[in-house]
């Protein structure tokens, strides 16, 4: 059975990940990235322990237009402490953490549903 996602025109889709990079809408990005439907930028995070309010500042600034932030934690899912989750919520961000592969797929599905989704993705080998 083939499943096809209907990506809204002009929105970015995550096509590939692995080998320390991502392909987003036909463009490769080395290392970890921050993805919005209309923007991808480099993210100076190598591991889950680097994730903080400070490293997510660009999303905090756009919190009013983000329904959900998908956090790709690397090769495996990680637990977000209630304190950190509440800090993000206080800034207007609802976060869902999972391994990076699942985060890429979830971002694409939510984008295809027309949701205002963002992703913070830690690169994996």
pLDDT digits (tens, 9 = 90+) for 35-82: 999 999 999 999 999 999 999 999 999 999 999 999 999 999 999 999
On whether the CB atoms of residues 88 and 71 are closer than 8 A, the answer is no
Output the pLDDT for position 4: 62
Residues 4-32 have a mean pLDDT of 91
pTM of the model: 0.93
Residues paired with 106 in a beta bridge: none
Query: What does the mean pLDDT of the chain come to?
Result: 93
Phi and psi, residue 83, nearest 5°: -65, -45
- Rg, C-alpha atoms of the chain: 14
List CB contacts of 113: < 8 A, sequence separation 6 or more. Answer: none
Burial of 59 by CB count in 10 Å (0-12 exposed, 13-18 middle, 19+ buried)? buried
pLDDT at 3 over 60: no
pLDDT at 2 over 60: no
Residues 107-113 have a mean pLDDT of 94
Distance, CA of 3 to CA of 41 (rounded, Å):
28
Distance, CA of 113 to CA of 77 (rounded, Å):
24
């Amino acid at each position: 059975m083939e499943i096809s996602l209907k990506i809204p025109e002009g929105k970015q889709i995550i096509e590939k990940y692995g080998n320390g990079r991502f392909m987003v809408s036909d463009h490769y990005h080395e290392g970890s990235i921050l993805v919005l439907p209309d923007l991808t930028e480099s993210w100076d995070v190598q591991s889950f322990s680097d994730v903080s309010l400070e490293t997510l500042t660009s999303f905090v600034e756009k919190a009013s237009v983000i329904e959900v932030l998908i956090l790709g934690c690397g090769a495996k899912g990680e637990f977000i402490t209630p304190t950190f989750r509440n800090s993000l919520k206080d800034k207007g961000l609802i976060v869902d953490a999972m391994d990076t592969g699942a985060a890429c797929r979830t971002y694409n599905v939510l984008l295809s549903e027309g949701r205002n989704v963002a992703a913070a993705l830690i690169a994996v080998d």
